Structure 1
Amino acid sequence: MPIHALSQYAPAARATATAVFGFESLIGVEAVVAGAPADRAGIAANDSLVAIGETALPGLPAANAPENAAARDRAEAAITEAPLRQPLRLTVLRKGQRHAIAVTPVAGCRSRFEILLGSGLDASADGSVVQIGERFFEGYTDAEIAVVVSHELAHNILRHRSRLDAAKINRGLLAELGRNGRLIRETEDQADLLGIYLLANAGFDPMSAPKFWRDKGGAVDGGLFRSRTHASSKARANALEAVAQAIAANPVRPIIPPVVATRDVPLR
């Protein structure tokens, strides 16, 4: 049940967003996955959320309220933190009528996935959300996109954002220097490593990762102008090729690599 907030849209686009998505409150249901808990409970696309449990949600934003995703993120967190397998009461507005609907949550992936419009070949992960630029869908194959997504998802699985924050790492102008650069590079190498296992566990050919970095890596990482917090495309391809060969020779699925056990280990 992906949700979104009217405040995620620029003020000039909010009338159109309301016409398309039916926002009757700040938080709307963007879509409902067929057969999922929300669908079975009776939630419908374009419903508007007015309460999660006993917590009332804000009303419509002011016309000039700045564009941001904070309201959506707070609503997502409230839903995510609900106890598993216990009904969660959602109050929705549908064409002006209130409906109380109980949804029974089940375990799922904690990361959300978003496509960024107008962002080129950017990709990022913040611990909760994986975002990739729209240009990946213009000429890249599913396997190539999966290499990028698996790398970013690996960052979230390994809790890199929170571990780097705990280590007081500077990601700004000093990101490439000294301890900052060393630890950021460590997390990038770990994400490459776990990412190739995620690829294989999802049914993709693990060799698609080294092939991607050889064929497309320069366009993605900036080539000679890349950040030195990342290995070169050639180095990434070479490092991943041996891992990919070992994975391909192992029929066991899923494979849980040792790097997963480091997700609670402080970065030093």
Structure 2
Amino acid sequence: MLRFLCLLSVFTLVAQPESGTAQSVEGQAIDSQAVQALQSLQRLDQRMHATGYRLVAANAEFCKETVPHLGILLHDLQQYGDQDTARIALGFSSPIAINAVAPDSPAAVAELAVGDGLTAIDGIAVQDIAADTEKLSNEKPEYRQIAAVKAKLIEAAVDGEAVLTIQRGGISQQVILAPRTTCPSQFQIRVSTKREASADGKIVSISSTLAEYVRSDDELAAIAAHELAHNLLKHRERLNAQKVNRGFFGQFGKSAKRIKAAEIEADRLSVWLMANAGYDPQAAIRFWTRYGKQHGKGIFSASTHYRWKKRVKLFDEEIAKMKQMEPVAGKFAPPLLAANAAK
């Protein structure tokens, strides 16, 4: 969904420690709950990153537009309010470090690891990579440097390879990564007490609470694939061009019909994306059946969305279409992407 929102039970990332709320590491007092919260969030980041990479890499041959991908997710110590705790909890080797490495990605092949510090890209020190404050004006100040570094990393990958200088255990080394071509889209976990997901045309966001609600990686992939489908089909651009109202009045008339049409397309495409990435498309049925039975009211009873039983029927129809096809090298060509590429 372009804005998948449902108010459900609250989940907190902060787990209770077995004893006490403070620990001492190398003489420094830290809050055990804060450490566990950060490490829980990091595990969600890693799971989301792996799922997203697998989806965009497996479906690259069907995407009209493609991008180079190295398979690493970076984070910046500046992002964290308590930087001393973050450094200890997340194992930063330098202020900008690797937060996740996608399996089977160029970074994984090069044996990069979580916690490795990134100190230079193509010989340019990360602290010398200037953040364009005009382009990044919508970013919070603490996120501007990491945004600039990510942009530089993409720029290096576009040129065919990226030379990274990595800090690990006090030792510096250079690693050359040749990017893999993937579909466009980035994936992120957003800390929230609501179960929600969204797609803005470039980024797929899934809330921490929703990521904890799913029962398997296949179910997480079902949600991520739906949001990715919105991006690949350029639904936000299309709805904006049609001047669709996303507010209260978007629940009525032409706006509601156009939003629902986009939701139906995203559902249809999602199971094809899942199957091509080796996920079980039946997980979409399992997830929405369970979710619908538990939480059938709310936004999904609105005129912009199918109710859960219709969604399940739609998934069944698409899976049946795939079963009638002969896969090529284990992949099914999604009809919606073929139609989109022809436009």
TM-score range, shorter chain: 0.7 to 0.9
Q: Is 1:17 the counterpart of 2:86 in the alignment? A: yes
8 Å CA contact 1:84–1:107 kept in 2: the answer is: no
Output the CA distance in 2 between the equivalents of 1:6 and 1:265: 44
8 Å CA contact 1:50–1:56 kept in 2: the answer is: yes
Structure 2 residue ranges without an equivalent (≥5): 1-71, 129-138
**1:218–1:7 CA distance, 2 compared to 1 (3 A):** farther
Counterpart residue type for residue 77 of structure 2 = L
What are the within-5 Å matches in structure 2 for residues 1-268 of structure 1?
A: 1-9=72-80, 11=81, 13-19=82-88, 20-22=90-92, 24-25=94-95, 27-33=96-102, 36-39=105-108, 41=110, 43-53=112-122, 57-58=126-127, 69-83=143-157, 86-93=160-167, 99-135=173-209, 136-138=211-213, 140-217=215-292, 219=294, 223-226=297-300, 227-252=302-327, 253-263=330-340
3-state DSSP of counterpart to 2:224: helix
8 Å CA contact 1:84–1:104 kept in 2: the answer is: no
Q: 1:223 Cα deviation (Å)?
A: 1.8
**1:49–1:166 CA distance, 2 compared to 1 (3 A):** farther
Which of 252-261 and 74-83 deviates more? 74-83
8 Å CA contact 2:299–2:305 kept in 1: the answer is: no
Deviations 1:115-173 (A, max 9, x none): 33443421222333333233443462444333222212212222323443454444344
**1:8–1:142 CA distance, 2 compared to 1 (3 A):** same
3-state DSSP of counterpart to 1:261: helix
TM-score (norm 1): 0.74
**1:85–1:41 CA distance, 2 compared to 1 (3 A):** farther
Q: Between the two proteins, what is the percent identity of the paired residues?
A: 32
Structure 1 residue ranges without an equivalent (≥5): 60-64
Which of 147-156 and 112-121 deviates more? 112-121
Counterpart residue type for residue 146 of structure 1 = A
Q: 1:68 Cα deviation (Å)?
A: 6.0
8 Å CA contact 1:24–1:93 kept in 2: the answer is: yes
Output the CA distance in 2 between the equivalents of 1:145 and 1:233: 17
**Higher share in strand:** 2
8 Å CA contact 1:125–1:156 kept in 2: the answer is: yes
3-state DSSP of counterpart to 1:175: helix
8 Å CA contact 1:223–1:233 kept in 2: the answer is: no
Q: 1:236 Cα deviation (Å)?
A: 1.6
Output the CA distance in 2 between the equivalents of 1:137 and 1:148: 12
What's 1:62 paired with?
none
Deviations 1:20-39 (A, max 9, x none): 332633x3212345664335
8 Å CA contact 1:121–1:133 kept in 2: the answer is: yes
What's 2:60 paired with?
none
Output the CA distance in 1 between the equivalents of 2:120 and 2:308: 47
8 Å CA contact 1:50–1:57 kept in 2: the answer is: yes
Output the CA distance in 1 between the equivalents of 2:229 and 2:314: 17
3-state DSSP of counterpart to 2:156: coil
Q: 1:193 Cα deviation (Å)?
A: 0.5
**What is the alpha-carbon root mean square deviation over aligned residues?**
3.7
Deviations 1:224-257 (A, max 9, x none): 4434322221222233322322323434242223
TM-score (norm 2): 0.61
3-state DSSP of counterpart to 2:187: strand
8 Å CA contact 1:50–1:92 kept in 2: the answer is: yes
Output the CA distance in 2 between the equivalents of 1:91 and 1:118: 34
8 Å CA contact 1:53–1:89 kept in 2: the answer is: yes
3-state DSSP of counterpart to 2:180: coil
**Greater relative contact order, per chain length (Cα 8 Å cut-off, separation 6+):** 2
